[in-house]
Amino acid sequence: METKEIKKNRNERSFSRKPEISEFEQKIVNVRRVTRVATGGRRFSFSVALIAGNRKGSIGFGLGKSIDTSLAINKAFRNAKKNMLKLKLTKTLSIPTEVLIKFSSSRIMLQPNKGRGLVAGSVVRDILKLAGIKDVTGKIVSGSKNKLNNAKAVIAALSKFI
């Protein structure tokens, strides 16, 4: 009789997967629809750029490309976790020195600014916020409105503080 009860209990269990809860928050920077021309016609896919951070000094940037946006977001998140940077910040969660960096056509300037809070706009603000950085002034010095290059420039600037 005991074996029948055990088999019954096994069959009643549900083997559903629980979604994995991550310590990292994510923010989508850019979603683009990409077209590839093949012999049968146009093939569409989506390219997603996102940043992931834990607000404690870790930040990562990832790109993902897929036919579906949700698959592209998952790929980008995995890529961001793989390329995670652990920053060495000051006691006040600021950056130690001023940095001016150029990536492609984007120029980004980051300055420590004690007591002013986070003063930045666009992608710079999102990245610094997810990294947990406070008391910093960020400025996009160039006229570039390309969010992807601006995000890569901010990550390159923050990589100076590893």
**Domain spans, the chain:** 25-85, 87-161
pLDDT per residue, tens digit, the chain (162 aa), is: 555 555 555 555 555 555 666 789 999 999 999 999 999 999 999 999 999 999 999 999 999 999 999 999 999 999 999 999 999 999 988 999 999 999 999 999 999 998 889 999 889 999 999 999 999 999 999 988 999 999 999 999 999 998
Q: Are 61 and 80 in contact (CB under 8 A)?
A: yes
- What residues does 111 pair with on adjacent strands? 137
Q: How far is the C-alpha of 158 from the C-alpha of 161, rounded, in Å?
A: 6
Class of domain 25-85: alpha beta
Class of domain 87-161: alpha beta
Residue 120: Cβ within 10 Å count: 22
25-85 and 87-161 share one fold: no
